Structure 1
Amino acid sequence: MSTKLINRRFTAALDRLLPARCLLCHAPGDGMDLCMACLADMASNHHACQRCGLPLPPSLSLCSGCVRQPPPWSGAWVPFRYAWPLDLLEARFKFHGDLACGKVLAWMWCAAEPSLPLPDAIIPVPLHRSRLRTRGYNQALELARPLARHLRLPLLSCLRRSRRTTAQTELDAQARRGNLRDAFSVTGPVPPHVAILDDVMTTGATMEACTRALLAAGATTVDAWALARA
């Protein structure tokens, strides 16, 4: 009997013994840890600024900020809005070590349709080694791995956070940009078209700092990918 067949039978038996339960409401899950009702409550980001992913009315394609001062990246794919109940899953995943929530969020992202041409590779936003030791994992990388497999794209780790920075959640937009100035460096070759991936985009300061580092290292097109837009 093949190993794959054994694994499938074991998984099926485990599902019968321990059926999936929704991480939000504890109702039976539909083959995953999220029920269809809670999935339907996720706020999609269908109408958004093409450059920064900010939710917009259907009649607009660019927000006023990107019209006045376009960001250094070329386009954005942000399939969800950072709102209830996605924000509950994200907080548990990012700050409380709940990797099961991260698995559900990654599944949701894989089920979304890319709004941009696919890049040559995906590059997750890195954590500084001190924060990585504290948290134990990089939430952007945990989301990027299954998405890269799903889209059949290489996953690169050529971007480094070269210095420790203050947590962005504690700063306003202007301070966030100053906090991240020269915080990232590139340690390996970069293909022409890459997507920088993060869990949540708020002001875009992290994406901007990463994009400038990648463009300086030889990338010609950088797209900003995030699961949700605040």
Structure 2
Amino acid sequence: MCRVCFEALPRIGRPSCGRCGIPAAFEMRVCEACKTVDFGFESARAPLRYEGVGKEIVHALKYRGYTRVVEKLAAPLMAEALGVPGPFDAVVPVPLHRARKRKRGFNQAALLARGVAGRMNTPVSDTLQVVRSTRDQVELSAAERRANVAGAFAAKAPLRGRLLLVDDVLTTGATLSACADTLIEAGAAEVHSLTLCRTC
């Protein structure tokens, strides 16, 4: 990444909502945008907005297979943005349906999870799995996204402790919330989420 693009990174920074991580005028525990939403996770953090160079990075990783961006840029930014006191018992990637993984060749969330976990000296758990195919979420409303992912995930084994759930982008939080609910049902005490980008 050239210096101009690096300086153009759409960083989120502080202040932000303590729950959903959206930029705010001042630090707050819960913002107006998320106070009526029933998320399965305790908190959500992301270092970048899903726009400009941030969006280009996600697309380079996801659609062009530029996996080097994980270690060089994404994982360091994500670990720095986490801001939630540790430790975590495991880092859990949001799973990808086998058909999509076969087409893409990898799960970008798993690559990000490994990169972040390596910086935290925390194990990665692949206990989450997709149990039914879902529609692409891009054109769906928030309510449609929640319905689309309801019951789409399952845990392969019992869980415990504090978990960090990782994905590439947070839009409405529907996928992360469904995954977090599944982890809690499987025995996790607490789930926090971390993504590379989020819509704001």
Normalised to the residue count of structure 2, the TM-score between the two structures is: 0.90
Q: Percent identity?
A: 35
Confirm or deny that 1:68 pairs with 2:18.
no
Deviation at 1:101, TM superposition (A): 3.5
Answer yes or no: is the 8 Å Cα contact 1:184–1:213 preserved in 2: yes
Deviation at 1:102, TM superposition (A): 3.9
SS of residue matched to 2:192: strand
Confirm or deny that 1:225 pairs with 2:194.
yes
Alpha-carbon distance in 2 for matches of 1:126, 1:77:
19
Q: What is the aligned length?
A: 197
- Point out the structure with max Rg over C-alpha: 1
Q: Aligned pair in 2 of structure 1 residues 110, 174: CA closer, same or farther (>3 Å)?
A: closer
Partner of residue 100 from structure 1, selected from 68, 76, 82: 68
In the alignment, residue 41 of structure 1 is paired with which amino acid? Answer: A
Where in structure 1 are there 5+ consecutive unaligned residues?
A: 1-33
Deviation at 1:62, TM superposition (A): 2.5
Residue-by-residue CA offset, 1:67-108 (whole Å, 9 max, x unaligned): 223422111221222121111121121122222344444344
Where in structure 2 are there 5+ consecutive unaligned residues?
A: none
> What is the alpha-carbon root mean square deviation over aligned residues?
1.8
Confirm or deny that 1:52 pairs with 2:46.
no
Runs of 4 or more, structure 1, over 6 Å off, are none
Confirm or deny that 1:160 pairs with 2:129.
yes
Alpha-carbon distance in 1 for matches of 2:114, 2:50:
21
Confirm or deny that 1:131 pairs with 2:100.
yes
Alpha-carbon distance in 2 for matches of 1:229, 1:38:
18
Q: Aligned pair in 2 of structure 1 residues 223, 107: CA closer, same or farther (>3 Å)?
A: closer
Confirm or deny that 1:38 pairs with 2:5.
yes
Answer yes or no: is the 8 Å Cα contact 1:105–1:143 preserved in 2: no
Identify which of structures 1 and 2 has the higher relative contact order when contacts are C-alpha pairs closer than 8 Å and 6+ apart.
Answer: 2
State the partner residue of 1:9. Answer: none
Deviation at 1:197, TM superposition (A): 0.5
Normalised to the residue count of structure 1, the TM-score between the two structures is: 0.79
Alpha-carbon distance in 1 for matches of 2:187, 2:143:
27
